[in-house]
Structure 1
Amino acid sequence: MDGFKRKWVVAIDLGGTTTKLAFFNHSGKMIKKWKISTDKRNAGQYILDNIVTSIDKQLQQLKVDKEILTGIGMGAPGPVHLEQGLLYNAINLGWEKNYPLKKLLEKKMNLPVAVENDANCAALGEFWKGIGQHSKDLIFVTLGTGVGGGIISNGKLVRGVHGAGGEIGHITVIPKNGYRCNCGKIGCLETVASAKGIQRITKQLLASKKEKSMLSDKYFTVKDVFNAAKQCDPTASEVVDTFSFYLGLTLANIGNIFNPEIIILGGGIAKAGDFLVKKVQPYFENYAFPTVRDSTVISLTDLGNDAGVFGACRLILNQMMKSKKM
């Protein structure tokens, strides 16, 4: 394989439950991908060591020397100081505030490291190799355990002064009597458009309604909710409509600011496919400025769960090119 003859980088998509990793060559060709569980015990002290051990193990299995690696790119859940690689606040990992992620990983791996917010990495991945690669203006929204977002305007990531640009999941959509979010605010989009939010709304509706539902069991997944809605289950349909209203309203408001060519939906909830897009689209069109409505396409991710590692690869390649080490 030609990829084995070139230098590689490591791309990491660090999640609260699972960490996805991949080797890429300098042309952006994926050589190998795999995943490990994210061990958050004892304030997340094992996370980086597990990543290092996993990388070493994969190199041994591929019978490749560690010298082939030239850098590491990582997407992490939370606002990031790009130059210093500080993770300001990683609630889902248990790490302290201003966690020196870049410095610690560089020390453990003896390689240059670039760190970025995970949703920003996913947006960068779609912009580079996915469905957004021909668009200079795009919005990427991850719909999973939480709700994340990445915005690319005129070909550049919107980061903000402290790396918190594009935090779509924390836009307030219910200003009064909303649910409390993990971030500490009330009524964030994440409280109604994430997997946890959908399950909470479903349970409340099931408890308040007398009619039978396909979701009457105590345990159900978000996939179950969408499948039931596809079969016109009244409770599930109401849940999906509520979810679609808040998401469509939010996308319209963001669209009115950035006028993107494409809005890309990713994450586990996006596996609902075209059914999801068809539910969100009418609300987006209803609240979007006419020019935005007519010029913006809502689409599903092209790279799926690999968007994050593709973005992390692009991130470290960009850093290496700037430092002229490639």
Structure 2
Amino acid sequence: MTESKWIVGVDVGGTSVKIGIISAKGDIYKKWEIKTDKSNGGQRIMEDVWNSVQQKLSESNISSDNILGIGLGAPGFIDGDTGYIYEAVNIGWKEYDLPGHLKQLSGLPVFVENDANVAVLGENWQGAGRQEKNVIAITLGTGVGGGIIANGEIVNGANGMAGEIGHMTIETAGRPCNCGRAGCLETIASATGIVRQAMELIEAGNSESKLVEHFENHGVLTAKDIFNYASLGDQEASSIVHYTADVLGLVIANMGALLNPSKVLIGGGVSKAGDQLLDAIKASFEKYALERVSSICDMRVAELGNDAGIIGAAFLVKQKVLHVSF
């Protein structure tokens, strides 16, 4: 290969591990996935990753001597300075020196960050962030995740908990959250939270919404269904979308008062609602935010999709090895 130095980016998920060989410029040369083996407390995952990487490097005639390092994003509570994993419940890891283990296997520098932080690095490097120095990213999926870049650097906080946007309290007497508390943003604005709002409306039994008919006919309701009916003018579906967007706009306005970002990125499956959701969030943000905060801030949908993690993991290596920043 003509490229002199490459980076391996790894994004560990609950069902699959995404891996990429990425140039120092951020171009993906090759990407693939392997199954996440959660047996035995996930202790074989790094062996699987390195065996797979070795095979692809060999196929591509790339020597490990030409690898700058391995960057890895993982779910759970992670020390941003050392990459040590305190706990990743969905994987089975606990008190795990992942970078030490993978470095021992590969002989390469290894750097590990929380997956949400790695995703915002990727989006800011090669996606919708456009390499801004102050960025907030919110991921709306089955849960709500987030990452913050301030003055060109990921914000980790005292013990890695900065950016847990999904667990900001919105409704003090709200619905139970998986974190053990109640009323978190995640209980409202995740795909699960949006469906929960609709199911409560259906179970109340006095709604004329098309959502009721849909659920009776299909036995299931998704966030996509709710956005579809809202776009068709269903009043109660529209009310759910409006409330969700209003809450998100309020959260972003409050974060804006603290962080003054020039870019806010909305990603995850729920963001596929596109302008229908984004325009409503923008309107809410502008309603609640200080004018000097909202006027400088560009809000847009994330662009990289499932590639954000491996690209961000590669940028993590660039940050650590080449000492670059946004």
Normalising by structure 2, report the TM-score.
0.89
1:157 aligns with: 154
1:119 aligns with: 116
Q: How does 1:1-326 map to 2 (within 5 A)?
A: 2-3=2-3, 6-62=4-60, 64-96=62-94, 98-176=95-173, 178-209=174-205, 210-214=207-211, 215-216=214-215, 217-322=218-323
Cα distance in structure 2, aligned partners of 1:112 and 1:304: 26
> Does the CA-based 8 Å contact 2:129-2:135 persist in structure 1?
yes
Cα distance in structure 2, aligned partners of 1:297 and 1:289: 14
Cα distance in structure 2, aligned partners of 1:322 and 1:212: 55
Cα distance in structure 1, aligned partners of 2:118 and 2:15: 18
Q: In the TM superposition, what whole-angstrom CA distance separates every residue of 1:88-146 from its partner, at most 9, and x where no partner exists? A: 332322322x3222112222323211011111112222222222225221111111122
Deviation at 1:41, TM superposition (A): 4.1
Q: Report the secondary structure of 1:89's partner residue.
A: strand
Deviation at 1:47, TM superposition (A): 3.0
- Matching residue's letter, 2:270: I
Q: Report the secondary structure of 2:21's partner residue.
A: strand
Report percent identity of matched pairs: 43
**Pairs aligned (count):** 319
Gaps of 5+ in 2: none
Deviation at 1:257, TM superposition (A): 0.9
Deviation at 1:256, TM superposition (A): 1.2
Farther-moved stretch of structure 1 (32-41 vs 198-207): 32-41
- Matching residue's letter, 1:108: L
Q: Closer, same or farther in 2 for the Cα pair 1:19/1:229, shift >3 Å?
A: farther
> Does the CA-based 8 Å contact 1:267-1:305 persist in structure 2?
no
Q: Report the secondary structure of 1:34's partner residue.
A: strand
Cα distance in structure 1, aligned partners of 2:262 and 2:220: 39
Q: Report the secondary structure of 2:295's partner residue.
A: helix
Q: In the TM superposition, what whole-angstrom CA distance separates every residue of 1:237-292 from its partner, at most 9, and x where no partner exists? A: 23222321221111111011111111111112111111110121222122112221
Q: Report the secondary structure of 2:303's partner residue.
A: coil
Deviation at 1:185, TM superposition (A): 2.1
Cα distance in structure 1, aligned partners of 2:323 and 2:283: 43
Normalising by structure 1, report the TM-score.
0.89
Deviation at 1:305, TM superposition (A): 2.5
Q: Closer, same or farther in 2 for the Cα pair 1:47/1:289, shift >3 Å?
A: same
- Matching residue's letter, 1:288: A
